[in-house]
Amino acid sequence: MGTLAAGFIMMRWELLSAFVMFCTSQLNIVCRQSSRHSMAFICSSVGVAVTCFFVMRLMGMTYNAEAIAHFWAVTKEVFFDTMSKTPTDMPFYS
């Protein structure tokens, strides 16, 4: 019993995240069936945010303002580096 309780205490945020993901998925389905598309979008957004938090916690990642700023700086640098290497007359097919 103590092992089970300790497991629940250690996994409290992950269990809560999984429960919230399940609830937002169910609410998304119900809202789409009743043609409440704005509520379905909100539920989907909450579900995606909680999923990102869940995955970050499982991987042991923490996030703070410095880490987020570094991530966006690296992303911007890689994007501009990649775009500078693309040909200027690259054809777009439709």
Residue range 18-34, pLDDT digits in tens: 788 888 888 888 888 88
The pLDDT of residue 50 is above 90: no
Both tokens of 9, joined, read 């205490």
The secondary structure of residue 32, as a DSSP letter, is: H
Q: 11: burial class by Cβ within 10 Å (0-12, 13-18, 19+)?
A: middle
The pLDDT of residue 75 is above 60: yes
pTM summary value: 0.52
How far apart are the C-alpha atoms of 37 and 91, rounded to whole Å?
36
Tell me the domain boundaries of the chain. Answer: 2-84
26 φ, ψ to 5°?
-65, -40
